[in-house]
């Protein structure tokens, strides 16, 4: 049986004025590459923050690696790259490799210097996101897209089993977006990292992912990406307000 790494049972979340999530049931299994898609304000970032324990559900339960989230201790098993990390303060005085190494801060705090194996891991993580040649540069001198790849390398440094990314391609130019998702697909298949991603790049991401969740306060579909085609026009309309299928067809015509 595949292992359930993340399980949400009837989760709702209420901000003061807004009910952002209602009655969410989601299971994410080991090896999944899940794309969460939905219009702006549909609760995508809120859902990720609930999984990460940054927000506590108003109702319902969260299980991580089979344990109730409040008892789950292995936080480094879940890597996170937030929506805001690519608007990094350009005056920040740190090199790329220092930023990546800081992902280790907790574990190495007592020793004040990093063992050789960590240097090798920093190099490997940077290489896996195609940034090894920029290791000595100042993080502030990189483009938004390059900074984002450095933050992914930083998340990879503690060998997470799950990587969670919130709209990671904002700031990456369109020709590099496919390469970026190809890189994530590689991490998923070859490095066996389960990936949960919020994105608007439905076309560009579709080759890499295994599963899709369509969210708009509630889950309108969650399953294998190919089964999404079985959603009726009514279901699509209820989810997005207009037919996504039509949007995709228009894109095809424009190509
Ligand atoms: P998405 O990531 O899909 O754009 P969010 O999860 O950020 O959506 O937001 C879902 C809803 O909750 C939106 O209506 C948003 O305005 C509201 N919301 C998000 N964050 C807060 C907050 N910190 N305080 C109050 N309302 C919020
Ligand atoms: Mg968001």
| pLDDT level of residue 36 (50, 70, 90 thresholds) | very high
Does 145 have pLDDT greater than 80?
no
Per-residue model confidence (pLDDT) at position 149: 86
Ligand 1 pocket residue status of 45, Cβ below 6 Å: yes
| CATH number of the domain where residue 9 is located | 3.40.50.300
Q: Report whether residue 14 contacts ligand 1, using a CB cutoff of 6 Å.
A: no
Question: For residue 93, what pLDDT band results from cuts at 50, 70 and 90?
Answer: confident
Cα-to-centroid distance, 174 and ligand 2 (Å): 20
**Structure confidence at residue 6 (pLDDT):** 97
18 Cβ closer than 6 Å to some ligand 1 atom: yes
Task: Give domain status of residue 42, yes or no.
Answer: yes
Which residue range is the domain that position 196 belongs to? 4-84+161-240
Model confidence at 46, pLDDT cuts 50, 70, 90, reads very high
What does the pLDDT look like over 197-220, one tens digit per residue? 999 888 888 889 999 999 999 999
The count of structural domains within the chain is 1
155 in a structural domain = no
- For residue 41, the CA-to-ligand 2 centroid distance in Å is 7
**What is the average per-residue pLDDT within 218-224?**
91
Top pLDDT among 91 and 254 is at: 91
As given in the structure block, the two tokens for residue 236 are 């699509």
Task: Report the percent of the chain where pLDDT is more than 70.
Answer: 86
Q: Is residue 44 lining ligand 1, measured as CB closer than 6 Å?
A: yes
Atom of ligand 1 nearest to the CA of 166: 2
Residue 137 inside a domain? The answer is no
Which residue has the least CA distance to atom 22 on ligand 1?
Answer: 15
In-domain check, residue 139: no
Specify the pTM: 0.87
Instruction: Calculate how far, in angstroms, residue 17's C-alpha sits from the geometric centre of ligand 1.
Output: 10
> Is 129 inside any structural domain?
no
Question: So what's the pLDDT on residue 189?
Answer: 92
Over residues 161-168, mean pLDDT? 94
- Minimal-distance CA residue to ligand 1 atom 26: 15
Domain assignment present for residue 118? The answer is no
Residue 201 lies in a domain: yes
pLDDT over 80 at 163, yes or no = yes
228: in domain: yes
């Amino acid at each position: 049986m595949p292992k359930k790494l993340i399980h949400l049972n009837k989760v709702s979340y209420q901000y003061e004025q807004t009910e952002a999530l209602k009655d969410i049931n989601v299971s994410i299994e080991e090896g999944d590459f899940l794309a969460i898609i939905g219009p702006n304000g549909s609760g995508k970032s809120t859902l990720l923050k609930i999984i990460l324990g940054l927000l506590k559900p108003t109702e319902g339960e969260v299980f991580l690696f089979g344990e109730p989230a409040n008892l789950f201790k292995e936080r480094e098993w879940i890597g996170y790259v937030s929506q805001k990390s690519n608007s990094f303060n350009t005056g920040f005085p740190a090199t790329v490799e220092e930023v990546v190494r800081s992902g280790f801060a907790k574990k190495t705090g007592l020793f004040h210097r990093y063992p050789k194996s960590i240097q090798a891991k920093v190099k490997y993580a940077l290489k896996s996101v195609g940034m090894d040649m920029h290791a000595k540069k100042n993080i502030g001198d990189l483009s938004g897209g390059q900074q984002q790849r450095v933050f992914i390398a930083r998340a990879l440094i503690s060998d997470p089993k799950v990587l969670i990314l919130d709209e990671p391609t904002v700031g990456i130019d369109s020709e590099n977006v496919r390469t970026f998702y190809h890189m994530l697909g590689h991490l998923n298949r070859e490095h066996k990292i389960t990936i949960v991603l919020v994105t608007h790049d439905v076309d560009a991401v579709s080759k890499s992912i295994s599963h899709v969740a369509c969210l708009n306060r509630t889950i309108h579909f969650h399953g294998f990406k190919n089964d999404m085609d079985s959603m009726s026009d009514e279901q699509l309309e209820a989810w997005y307000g207009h037919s996504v299928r039509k949007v995709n067809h228009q894109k095809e015509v424009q190509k």
